[in-house]
Chains A and B, each alone.
Chain A
Amino acid sequence: ILNVEQSPQSLHVQEGDSTNFTCSFPSSNFYALHWYRWETAKSPEALFVMTLNGDEKKKGRISATLNTKEGYSYLYIKGSQPEDSATYLCAFNEYNFNKFYFGSGTKLNVKP
């Protein structure tokens, strides 16, 4: 079983704060890393699919970076808003396999 870890487990920030969290995964046999946002009572929603070392992706105020050599990805949220409150999940995909290994998520709460 591959180990994918996310930290911190939960985060409480004020509206307007910028924040970031980490996903760690095995550095060998890397194929892809996916980030998802999961709001309460909704379906997980895909944010980014990252495949190349050094990749940086951006979607509005949210961005992500990828380091496959050391096995980590950062997710950044600039100027957090209450609607950013959700659990953020990362999922690691190993080369030549179709299964995904998820971290346990970072639960973000943004206070107005």
Chain B
Amino acid sequence: GAGVSQTPSNKVTEKGKYVELRCDPISGHTALYWYRQSLGQGPEFLIYFQGTGAADDSGLPNDRFFAVRPEGSVSTLKIQRTERGDSAVYLCASRSGASASTDTQYFGPGTRLTVL
């Protein structure tokens, strides 16, 4: 079956521009995560959705970052007024259940964002 997909795979933008990154989770997965991975670091939690609602957005670095999941499937991460420090690989992951302890997260291939 289809895995988690993310588009675009690469995005180059200029400082100050707005970008949207899309995540298509595995069909039927209610939980969805966004992570950001900067060079030399592990993935850093940004936001967690359970269904349509953001259950935990404590990882969003500031109010330039926003994410939505209006129908409980596809999610979009939106970054306003991009800065060079936003350059990173943005990963999306989904899992089927409500329990984080035993359910596997399935990751997408990531979107590499470069802000010039």
A: residues with CB less than 8 A from B are 4, 6, 31-32, 34, 36, 41-46, 49, 51, 89, 91, 93, 97-105
A36 to B33, CA, bound (A): 16
The residues of B that contact A89 with a CB separation of less than 8 Å are 42-43
B85 on the A face (CB < 8 A) = no
What is the CA–CA distance of A4 and B42 in the complex, to the nearest angstrom?
10
C-alpha gap A93/B102 in the complex (Å): 10
Count chain B residues whose beta carbon lies closer than 8 angstroms to a beta carbon of A.
Answer: 30
Are the CB atoms of B42 and A98 closer together than 8 Å? Answer: no
Of all chain A residues, the one with the shortest Cβ separation from B93 is A44
How far apart are the CA atoms of A54 and B100 in the complex, in Å? Answer: 20
Do A102 and B42 have beta carbons less than 8 Å apart?
yes
Kindly list chain A residues whose C-beta atoms are within 8 Å of the C-beta of B45: 99-102
Bound Cα distance A101, B100 (Å): 12
Given that A43-B4, A99-B56 are contacting pairs, would A49 and B42 also be in contact in the complex, using a CB cutoff of 8 Å? no
Closest CB-CB distance, B69 to chain A, in whole Å?
A: 14
The answer to whether B110 has its CB under 8 Å from any CB of chain A is yes
Contact of A104 among B31, B35, B40, B58 (CB under 8 A): B40
Chain B stretch 8-47: residues in CB contact (< 8 A) with chain A: 31, 33, 35, 40-45
Point out the residue from B31, B91, B103 that lies within 8 Å of A44, measured CB to CB: B91
- Alpha-carbon distance between A100 and B46 when the two chains are bound, in angstroms: 10
Q: A43-B109, A98-B56 are in contact. Are A32 and B42 (CB under 8 A)?
A: no
Query: In the complex, what residue of chain A is closest to B92 when comparing beta carbons?
Result: A43
Say whether B42 contacts A44, CB under 8 Å: no
